[in-house]
Amino acid sequence: MGMQNKHDNVNIFSAHDGYAYWVENLAKAQLLVAGDVMLDRYWFGQVDRISPEAPVPIVKVDSSEERPGGAANVARNIAALGSQVNLLSVVGDDEAGEILRDCVESFGVKSFFQKDSRLPTTVKLRVVSRQQQLIRIDFENEPNSLALDAKLQDYEQKLDQTDLVILSDYGKGALRYIVNMIKSARDREIPVLVDPKGSDYERYRGATILTPNCAELAIVVGKWANETQLIDKVQQLRQHLELKALLLTRSEEGMTLFTEGEVLYIPTQAREVYDVTGAGDTVIAVLGALMAVKMPLPQAVQWANRAAGIVVGKLGTAVVHPSELWGKAAE
C-alpha cells in the first residue's frame, strides 16, 4: 500500500489553477445539501460577579446573534464560495424556523424546508463571555414521517439539476431515509459526501466519501494503538461500505485521506484556534464544492484543510470566503 510521508505536501497549485480560474468554475456549480438544520443563537455579555443563588457566573447580556447551523451552515459555506446551493430539511412551524429560513436565504442559499407543526426547530443557544462559551442549551426533537416523506420527494426532484450531494447528519432525524437518498444519487452517478453521526455506518453504504472525526470513527471501528492499525481499520471499513474515500479529520493533527491503495496525510494549517464549532461543516462544504468543479480529490482535500485552518480562528459557526482561501496561494 502506498503511503505519503506525514510531512510531504501535495502540489496543490498548477499553472492555470489561480484564484480567478476556480472562482469562475465554482460559480457554475450546483450543489444539493440535505440533513439536520438548526439555528445557532449566541448571547454575548460580561461576567462581573458570581450568583448568590448558586456558584455560577452572572452574565449581563448586551448583544445577540443568530446564525445557521448544521446542514444550514454547510449550505452557507458553499454559498460563500460563490456556488449555487439548494438546502432541504425539516423545521418546526415556529419563529425559529422562519428566522432560519430568512437567515440562509440572506446568504444566497435556496431553502426548501418542510414544516412539521409538532416539531420545534432545533435551536442551540450559546452564552459567550470574552470569547469563551459558558453554556450551551439545546432545544430539539425528531420530525414526523409525513414531513420526511415530502422532503424525500423534493430531494428526488432536485437531483437531476445537481452536480454533487452533501448529506449532513447530526442525528436529529432529518436523514431517516438516507439509504434511499444515497442510492438515488448513485444511480444517477452523482457524488455523495456524508458527514456521519452515530454507530450505524451501514446506512452510509455506497456514498462517495465519509468525513468523520476521530471520536466518531472510534465509535464504529474501535480504538487504535498506532497508525498501522488505524489504516487497516479504515481501509476495511472503506471497502466494506463501498466508499471511494474516507477523510478523517484529526484536529491539531490535520487530516488523513484514505483511498484505494493510498493514504495521504495533510498537516493542520490552523494558526490560532478560538472555536472549532462548525469546522467540520466548512471542511465538507469546501471539499464538495471543489469536487463539483472536478478538482482532483487530493488537491480538494488540501484546500478543505486550509479552509478549516481559517475558520477555527473565528468565533462560532463561520464561513471562509474565496479571497481568504485563494488569496495568498494565488499570488
pLDDT digits (tens, 9 = 90+) for 179-218: 999 999 999 999 999 999 999 999 999 999 999 999 999 9
Supply the pLDDT for residue 8. 42
Q: What is the pTM of this model?
A: 0.89
Alpha helical stretches, state H, the chain: 19-26, 71-80, 95-106, 145-159, 178-187, 214-221, 227-240, 279-292, 297-311, 322-330
Band of pLDDT at residue 83, cut at 50, 70 and 90: very high
d(CA 256, CA 246): 8
Could you tell me if 107 and 68 are in contact, meaning their C-beta atoms sit under 8 angstroms apart? yes
d(CA 200, CA 178): 12
| pLDDT exceeds 70 at position 278 | no
Supply the pLDDT for residue 123. 96
Mean pLDDT of 228-236: 95
Supply the pLDDT for residue 156. 94
Residue 294 falls in which region: left (phi positive, over 0), alpha (psi -120 to 50) or beta: left
Between 77 and 328, name the one with better pLDDT: 77
Supply the pLDDT for residue 316. 65
Supply the pLDDT for residue 277. 64
Q: Are strands 262-266 and 2-3 parallel, antiparallel or unpaired?
A: parallel
Supply the pLDDT for residue 148. 87
Report residue 228: phi and psi, to 5°.
-60, -45
Return the ∠ at Cα 242 (arms to 255 and 9), rounded to 5°: 25
Return the number of other C-beta atoms located less than 10 Å from residue 184's C-beta: 17
Measure CA 206 to chain center: 19
Arithmetic mean of pLDDT over the chain: 88
Q: Which residues pair with residue 27 across a beta bridge?
A: none
Could you tell me if 194 and 175 are in contact, meaning their C-beta atoms sit under 8 angstroms apart? no
Catalytic residue status for 281: yes
Model pLDDT for residues 47-61, shown as the tens digit of each residue: 999 999 999 999 999
Between 314 and 209, name the one with better pLDDT: 209
Q: What is the DSSP string of 102-163?
A: HHHHHTT-EEEEEEETT-PPPEEEEEEETTEEEEEEEE--PPPHHHHHHHHHHHHHHHTT-S
Q: Look-up: residue for cell 493510498?
A: 262
Between 82 and 17, name the one with better pLDDT: 82
